[in-house]
Chain A
Amino acid sequence: MQLEKFSINAYKDEQIIMVIRRHWFNILQNIFSAFAMTAFLVGSFFYLPIFFPSFSIAIYHKLFLFGETFFAMMIWALFFLIWIDYYFDVWIVTSERIINVEQKGLFSREISELQLEKIQDISTEVLGVIPTFLNYGNIFIQTAGEKERFLFRCVPNPYRIKDAIMSLQEKKQCKSATELKDLIYDKK
């Protein structure tokens, strides 16, 4: 996968290490309201005509079906709005930096990035029974940059991600140290 596919310009020799999205349980929580509406729609389709016999009269029956299809349209759009909020909210860990693409609804998209060498501290937080059982939680990255705290919200395998970022940061620091050493010896 390439960074350009996320509408982000890549550095020279930059490689994507991980693409992280929120845990599936998080979208399940958000989509629950849409599922409840769908259950109401299906239930009302079968049971409302039983409780209100006037719906079987042709003119009212058409009105009833019109209402049902209109409600279905709203639920369908809601499903995709929730999906877009989940699917386009993404954290990309590359060999050079961490990029946070935050999608809020349809009209707000924020992209922020953090260089690996600016990371000061990483901590993870898994709170509650379900997150512990399903192994998802938050990762906080303390930085020396403009944005002081970087948050990975409700991501799966937070401990593994934390270890991966830390080892990437170490590699990056070793590489920088070697480059500096080479530069000093070359000048001599």
Chain B
Amino acid sequence: MIFLVILALYLILILVYVLISFFIVYHLVKFSAEGELKYVMLIVFVFISIGLIFANVTLFFSIDWNTLTKNLLI
């Protein structure tokens, strides 16, 4: 039960982060004037963001939240 609550909260945070990232990419694509810099910014932002999200999600699911919360509550 407690895992589901944590998972729901985590999904909301990830969703907010993905939305912000989407709008950052949208701005970079739509409003950038300098072509070369636009692609550099896009590649850097997208690849590092994907890497960070992947690492974060992997770590989230590798944690035993039920045991952790029990340990923390005792």
Contact = CB atoms under 8 A, between A and B. Distances in A.
Given A72-B52, A77-B17, A66 B63 contact: yes
Interface in A38-97: 59-60, 62-63, 65-66, 69-70, 72-74, 76-77, 80-81, 83-84, 87-88
Contacts of B31: 6-7, 88, 103, 109
Given A80-B24, A84-B24, A66 B59 contact: yes
Contacts of B45: 80
Nearest to B44: A80
A130 interface: no
Contact of B55 (A59, A69, A83, A107): A69
Contact of B53 (A7, A63, A73, A106): A73
A62 B27 CA distance: 35
A88 B27 contact: yes
A154 B60 CA distance: 43
Interface residues of B, number: 29
Nearest to A57: B71
A74 B14 CA distance: 11
Nearest to A62: B63
A184 interface: no
Interface string B41-68: 1000100110011011001101110011
A76 B51 CA distance: 11
B35 to A, nearest CB: 8
A174 to B, nearest CB: 30
B59 A62 contact: yes
A36 interface: no
B33 interface: yes
A1 interface: yes
A188 interface: no
Interface of B: 13, 17, 20-21, 23-24, 27-28, 30-34, 41, 45, 48-49, 52-53, 55-56, 59-60, 62-64, 67-68, 71
Given A7-B31, A69-B55, A69-B59, 11 more contacts: A59-B63, A59-B68, A66-B56, A73-B49, A73-B52, A76-B49, A76-B52, A77-B21, A80-B24, A88-B31, A106-B27
18 contacts: A6-B33, A19-B33, A59-B68, A63-B63, A63-B68, A65-B59, A66-B56, A69-B55, A72-B52, A74-B17, A76-B48, A77-B17, A77-B21, A81-B24, A87-B32, A106-B23, A106-B27, A109-B31
